[in-house]
C-alpha cells in the first residue's frame, strides 16, 4: 500500500508540473522521504544574439537610397553598407498576407490569410477566414518559448475586427501570438497623429506626437527595461511602423527638405533611379527600363496644375520615408550606445509590398477610395483646393498618384496588390549582423520570400523548428533558410518554387521561370465610372504571360507564345498550389466591393468595423483609455544625430542619421 501511495504521489506531482513530462524528484509521505526537484529554467542557446525584424509599409523597391533611390535613407544605407543587400527578395503583394507569412514562415493562404482579417475582406473558407491557426506558431512564440523576451511595436494587422475591442478575446491579438509586450495598432492603417492605439491588451489614448516617434520611444523603453533586469537574456523586437502606408503624414520639417526635388516628374525620377541602381550593382548593367504602365501619363503631358499637385504629393512621401528612416536610426543608435548593437542581428524588409496604387490616378487627400468616383477634372480641382492639407494631420487619406507609385517601384512594372508582378512583390532586404556575417554591403541575388525569414532566424540563433508550440502540433514550415547565402554570394538558390495570389492577380515561379496574369477588375478599374462592369472583365478573360527572370528580371519580354508547353506546366503548378495551400475559391476585388461574401460575425457595439479596411476610409479611433506618464528613460540614450551601423569598412563614419534636429518631442506637429 505504501508503495502504491508513493507512486500515486509521484504521478500527481508529474501532472502538477504539467505538459513537460515526468516529475524528476521524489514525493514521499514526509519531507524526510522526499527529494525536491525543480524544472530547469528555459534558456536560449549560448551566445544567441538579440534579433530585430524591421518591416516598412508600402515602400517601393526604387524609393530608398540604400537600393538606388533618390529618397535619403541614411540609417538604412548604414545598415546595408555594413551588412548584406538582398535584391531578389519577395513579399506576398499586400500587407496582411505578407505579415502573416512572415511571422509564421508559411504561405499566407496556408495560415488562412488569403485576404485580410477585416470583416469585409475575409471569407468562410480555409484559406480566407483571416484567423491564423495555433498550428502555425509565430517567430515570437518560438523565441519566447526558447528564452527570449519578445516585443512588438507598430502595425499588427492580423486581428479580426470583431475581436479588436478591450473585451477580447485576446488569442489573436499580438499577446496571444507570442509577444510579451506590444504597442501599436491592430488594423491595416491608422492616422499618424490620431492612431487607434493599443498597449498589450487594451486601447490607450494617443499623445499627439507622430506615431513613429511614439513607437520608437516604446521600443527603446522595452529594451532598456530588459537590459536593466535581465541583461544576459536576448530579446526579439518586431519593429513595424505604419509608414509609409497612407495616410502620408509628416511634419513639414521633413517634407519641405524635398521642395522642388520632384518638379521634373516621375519619368525623370525613374531614369535617375535606374542609373543609380546600375552604379550600385543593384540591377544588371545590361538592364533596360520598362515602359510606363499603360495608365500612367507622360509627365510632360500634364497641366501645370496637375504637376504642382503631384509634385507636392511626392515631396510629402519622400519626407515621410526619410523621417521613418530617422526613427530607425534612433533605435539603432540606442543599441550602439548601450553596447548591444554588435550582438544584435537586424533584418530590414523595406516594404511589405510594392509602392501603393491606392492613390489612384490623381492622388488622394481626404476622399475615401471606396466613395463615388470623381471625374478627372473634379479630382484635380479637389486636390488643388486642399493642397495645404497634404501631409498634415488634416490629410487623413493622403496618398500619391499612380505615376509616383510606378516611379517608386523602379526598375519594375506595376505596384502593390499586383501579385502577378515583380513590382508588386519584390522588396529590398537588408541583413545586418557584423559579429558573424559579412559586413561589406555586398549584394545577394538568391531568390527569397518572406516565409524564409523565420527559418533563417532560427538557424542563425541555433533553435530548431519546434514540432509542438504550447501543446499544439505544428504544421511544417514552408520557407527555406537564407543562411546558406550569407557567406557565399554565388550559392544556387534553394527556394525554387513560389505561388502568389492577391484578389485575382496571380503568378507562379519555378526555377527562374514565372507565369502570371494581371486580373481585371482591379482596384484602379473600380475607381473609374463603370469600372466594375462584369461584361468587360472576368476569370475567362485573363491572359497569362511567361517570363524568364534569369535573363529578364523586370519582366519586359513575354515568352508565352514561344514556350506554350512551359506556360501550361506552370499553370498546372499554380492549380496544384491552389489546392495544397487553400487558394481556392478564387476571389477578386469585384467580389469584395459587391459584398458577395463577408464574415457574418458582427463586431461588438462600439468596436471597430469597416472603418479599418486596408484601403478606403481612415481608421476610427477605438477606445478612449489613457496612458500613464511617459517613461523618462524611454529614448533617453538615443543620440538622434549620430551614426548608425558603425563605420563603413575602409572609410570614415557614415553620414549623419538625419539632416537636422528632430522637431521638439511632445509637441503636436502640423498644426
As a three-state string, the secondary structure of 245-304 is CCCCCCCHHHHHHHCCCCCCCHHHHHHHHHHHHHHHCCCCCCCCCCCCCCCCCCHHHCCH
Residue 7, pLDDT above cutoff 90: no
Predicted pLDDT at 658: 36
Distance CA(419)–CA(598), nearest Å, equals 22
Q: Scanning the structure block, which residue is given the C-alpha cell 519593429?
A: 239
Residue 338 inside a domain? The answer is: yes
Tell me whether residue 545 is in a domain. no
Residue range 500-557, pLDDT digits in tens: 999 999 999 999 999 999 999 888 887 777 666 767 788 999 999 999 999 999 999 9
**Which residue, 595, 612, 629, sits at the end of a domain?**
612
Helix (H) or strand (E) holding 140: helix 139-144
Average pLDDT for residues 294-318, to the nearest whole number?
97
Buried/exposed code over 48-62 (b: 16+ C-beta within 10 A; e: otherwise) = bbbbbbbbbbbbbbb
The pLDDT value recorded for residue 371 is 60
In a domain, 669, yes or no: no
Distance CA 543, CA 425 (A): 19
Contacts of 47 (CB under 8 A, 6+ apart): none
**Each residue's pLDDT tens digit, 568-624:** 999 999 999 999 999 999 999 888 877 654 444 443 333 333 333 333 333 322 232
Q: What is the mean pLDDT of residues 52-56?
A: 99
Composition of the chain by helix, strand, coil, percent to 5: 30, 10, 55
Q: Tell me, yes or no, whether 6 and 84 share the same domain.
A: no
What span, in angstroms and rounded, lies between the C-alpha atoms of 222 and 306? 46
CA 248, 251, 253, 254 dihedral sign is negative
The pLDDT of residue 16 is above 60: no
**Does one domain contain both 220 and 172?**
yes
Same domain, 321 and 252: yes
Q: Are 454 and 139 in contact (CB under 8 A)?
A: yes
What Cα–Cα distance (Å) separates residue 389 from each residue in 78, 246, 384, 433, 639? 33, 14, 10, 41, 31
**Residue 445 pLDDT greater than 60, yes or no:** yes
Query: In this model, does residue 302 exceed pLDDT 60?
Result: yes
**Confidence band, pLDDT 50/70/90 cuts, at residue 367:** low
Dist CA 121 CA 128 (whole Å): 9
C-alpha cell at 451: 516565409
The sign of the torsion formed by the CA atoms of 302, 308, 311, 313 equals negative
Q: Which of 277, 302, 98 is nearest to 188 (CA)?
A: 98
**Residue 253, pLDDT above cutoff 90:** yes
Q: Do 310 and 195 fall within a single domain?
A: yes
> Is 389 within 8 Å of 381 (Cβ atoms)?
no
Average the pLDDT over each of 22-31, 374-383, 494-503 and give the range with the smallest value. Answer: 374-383
CA dihedral 560, 586, 500, 243 (to 10 degrees): 130
503 within 8 A of 597, measured Cβ to Cβ: no
The domain boundary, picked from 564, 595, 612, lies at 612
**Structural domain count of the chain:** 2
Residue 253 domain-assigned? yes
Distance CA 536, CA 530 (A): 10
What is the model's pLDDT at position 354? 98
User: With pLDDT > 90 as the criterion, what percentage of the chain qualifies?
Assistant: 77
Determine the pLDDT at residue 534: 67
pLDDT of residue 336: 98
pLDDT in tens, 320-362: 999 999 999 999 999 999 999 999 999 999 999 999 999 989 9
Q: Is the pTM here over 0.75, yes or no? A: yes
H-type helices in 549-652, by residue range? 564-580, 589-593
Give residue 376's pLDDT. 83
Average pLDDT of the chain is 87
- In the chain, pLDDT over 70 holds for what percent of residues? 83
Residue 670 predicted with pLDDT over 70:
no
Domain presence at residue 650: no
Cβ atoms of residues 160 and 167 within 8 Å: no
Domain closes at, from 612, 642, 661: 612
Calpha distance 320→250 (Å, rounded): 5
- Indicate if 438 and 291 belong to the same structural domain: yes
Assign 314 a pLDDT band (cuts: 50, 70, 90).
very high
Q: Do residues 426 and 301 both lie within one domain?
A: yes
CB 177 within 8 A of CB 206: no
Find the CATH number of the domain harbouring 334. Answer: 3.40.720.10
Q: Is residue 169 part of a domain?
A: yes
Question: For 182-220, what is each residue's pLDDT tens digit?
Answer: 999 999 999 999 999 999 999 999 999 999 999 999 999
Rounded mean pLDDT of 487-497?
98
Q: What does the pLDDT look like over 272-285, one tens digit per residue?
A: 999 999 999 999 99
CA–CA distance, 554 with 516 (Å, rounded to integer) = 13
Q: Burial-class residue 304 by CB neighbours within 10 Å (0-12, 13-18, 19+).
A: exposed
Beta bridge pairs of residue 151: 181, 237
Quickly count: other Cβ atoms within 10 Å of residue 473's Cβ: 10
Show the cell assigned to 372. 463615388
d(CA 102, CA 180): 18
Q: Do 58 and 170 belong together in one domain?
A: yes
Q: Domain check: are 85 and 163 in the same one?
A: yes
Which residues constitute the domain of residue 26?
A: 2-33
Average of pLDDT values for 240-245? Answer: 98
Mean pLDDT of 401-410: 98
Instruction: Verify that 17 and 128 share a domain, yes or no.
Output: no
- pLDDT exceeds 50 at position 403: yes
Cis preceding linkage at 311, omega within 30? no
**One domain for residues 24 and 123:** no
* Domain membership flag for residue 381: no
Residues 149 and 219 in one domain: yes
The confidence score (pLDDT) of residue 22 equals 84
Grid coordinates standing for 6? 508513493
Question: Region 59-85: what's the mean pLDDT?
Answer: 99
Q: Are residues 290 and 260 in the same domain?
A: yes
Closest to 261 (Cα-Cα) out of 72, 477, 441: 72
Is residue 526 included in any domain, yes or no?
Answer: no
Amino acid at each position: 500500500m505504501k508503495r502504491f501511495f508513493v507512486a500515486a504521489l509521484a504521478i500527481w506531482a508529474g501532472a502538477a508540473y504539467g505538459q513537460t513530462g515526468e516529475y524528476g524528484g521524489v514525493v514521499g509521505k514526509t519531507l524526510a522521504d522526499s527529494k525536491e526537484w525543480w524544472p530547469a529554467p528555459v534558456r536560449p542557446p549560448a551566445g544567441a544574439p538579440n534579433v530585430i525584424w524591421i518591416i516598412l509599409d508600402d515602400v517601393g523597391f526604387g524609393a530608398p537610397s540604400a537600393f538606388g533611390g533618390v529618397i535619403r535613407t541614411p540609417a538604412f544605407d548604414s545598415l546595408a553598407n555594413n551588412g548584406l543587400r538582398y535584391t531578389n527578395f519577395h513579399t506576398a503583394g499586400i500587407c496582411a498576407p505578407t505579415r502573416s507569412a512572415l511571422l509564421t514562415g508559411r504561405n499566407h493562404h496556408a495560415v488562412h490569410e488569403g485576404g485580410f482579417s477585416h470583416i469585409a475582406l475575409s471569407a468562410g473558407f480555409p484559406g480566407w477566414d483571416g484567423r491564423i491557426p495555433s498550428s502555425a506558431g509565430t517567430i515570437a512564440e518560438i523565441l519566447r518559448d526558447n528564452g527570449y523576451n519578445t516585443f512588438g511595436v507598430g502595425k499588427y494587422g492580423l486581428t479580426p475586427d470583431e475581436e479588436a475591442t478591450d473585451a477580447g478575446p485576446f488569442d489573436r491579438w499580438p499577446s496571444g501570438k507570442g509577444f510579451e509586450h506590444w504597442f501599436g495598432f491592430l488594423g491595416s492603417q491608422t492616422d499618424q497623429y490620431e492612431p487607434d492605439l493599443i498597449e498589450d491588451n487594451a486601447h490607450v489614448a494617443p499623445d499627439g506626437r507622430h506615431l513613429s516617434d511614439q513607437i520608437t520611444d516604446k521600443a527603446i523603453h522595452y529594451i532598456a527595461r530588459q537590459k536593466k533586469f535581465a541583461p544576459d537574456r536576448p530579446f526579439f523586437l518586431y519593429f513595424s511602423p505604419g509608414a509609409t502606408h497612407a495616410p502620408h503624414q509628416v511634419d513639414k520639417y521633413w517634407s519641405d527638405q524635398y521642395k522642388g526635388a520632384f518638379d521634373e516628374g516621375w519619368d525623370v525620377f525613374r531614369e535617375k533611379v535606374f542609373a543609380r541602381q546600375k552604379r550600385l550593382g543593384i540591377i544588371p548593367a545590361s538592364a533596360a527600363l520598362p515602359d510606363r504602365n499603360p495608365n500612367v501619363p507622360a509627365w510632360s503631358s500634364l497641366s501645370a496644375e496637375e504637376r504642382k499637385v503631384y509634385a507636392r504629393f511626392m515631396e510629402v512621401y519622400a519626407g515621410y520615408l526619410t523621417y521613418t528612416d530617422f526613427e530607425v536610426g534612433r533605435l539603432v543608435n540606442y543599441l550602439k550606445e548601450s553596447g548591444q548593437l554588435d550582438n544584435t542581428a537586424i533584418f530590414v524588409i523595406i516594404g511589405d509590398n510594392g509602392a501603393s496604387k491606392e492613390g489612384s490616378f490623381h492622388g488622394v487627400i481626404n476622399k475615401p477610395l471606396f466613395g463615388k468616383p470623381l471625374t478627372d477634372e473634379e479630382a484635380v480641382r479637389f486636390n488643388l483646393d486642399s493642397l495645404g492639407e497634404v501631409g498634415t494631420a488634416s490629410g487623413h487619406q493622403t496618398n500619391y498618384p499612380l505615376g509616383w507609385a510606378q516611379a517608386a517601384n523602379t526598375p519594375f512594372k506595376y505596384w502593390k496588390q499586383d501579385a502577378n508582378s515583380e513590382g508588386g512583390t519584390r522588396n529590398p532586404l537588408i541583413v545586418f549582423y557584423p559579429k558573424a556575417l559579412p559586413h561589406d554591403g555586398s549584394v545577394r541575388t538568391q531568390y527569397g520570400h518572406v516565409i524564409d525569414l523565420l527559418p533563417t532566424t532560427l538557424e542563425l540563433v541555433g533553435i530548431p523548428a519546434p514540432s509542438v508550440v504550447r501543446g499544439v502540433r505544428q504544421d511544417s514550415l514552408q520557407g527555406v533558410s537564407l543562411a546558406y547565402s550569407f557567406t557565399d554570394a554565388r550559392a544556387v538558390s534553394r527556394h525554387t518554387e513560389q505561388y502568389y495570389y492577391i484578389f485575382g492577380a496571380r503568378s507562379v515561379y519555378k526555377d527562374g521561370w514565372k507565369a502570371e496574369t494581371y486580373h481585371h477588375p482591379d482596384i484602379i478599374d473600380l475607381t473609374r465610372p463603370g469600372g466594375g462592369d462584369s461584361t468587360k472583365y472576368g476569370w475567362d478573360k485573363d491572359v497569362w504571360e511567361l517570363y524568364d527572370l534569369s535573363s529578364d528580371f523586370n519582366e519586359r519580354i513575354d515568352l508565352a507564345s514561344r514556350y506554350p508547353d512551359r506556360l501550361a506546366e506552370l499553370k498546372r503548378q499554380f492549380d496544384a498550389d491552389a489546392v495544397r495551400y487553400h487558394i481556392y475559391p478564387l476571389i477578386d476585388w469585384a467580389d469584395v466591393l459587391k459584398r458577395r461574401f463577408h464574415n457574418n460575425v458582427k463586431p461588438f457595439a462600439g468596436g471597430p468595423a469597416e472603418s479599418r479596411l486596408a484601403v478606403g476610409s481612415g481608421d476610427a479611433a477605438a477606445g478612449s483609455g489613457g496612458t500613464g506618464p511617459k517613461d523618462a528613460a524611454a529614448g533617453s540614450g538615443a543620440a538622434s544625430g549620430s551614426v548608425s551601423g558603425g563605420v563603413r569598412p575602409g572609410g570614415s563614419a557614415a553620414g549623419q542619421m538625419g539632416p537636422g534636429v528632430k522637431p521638439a518631442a511632445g509637441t503636436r506637429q502640423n498644426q
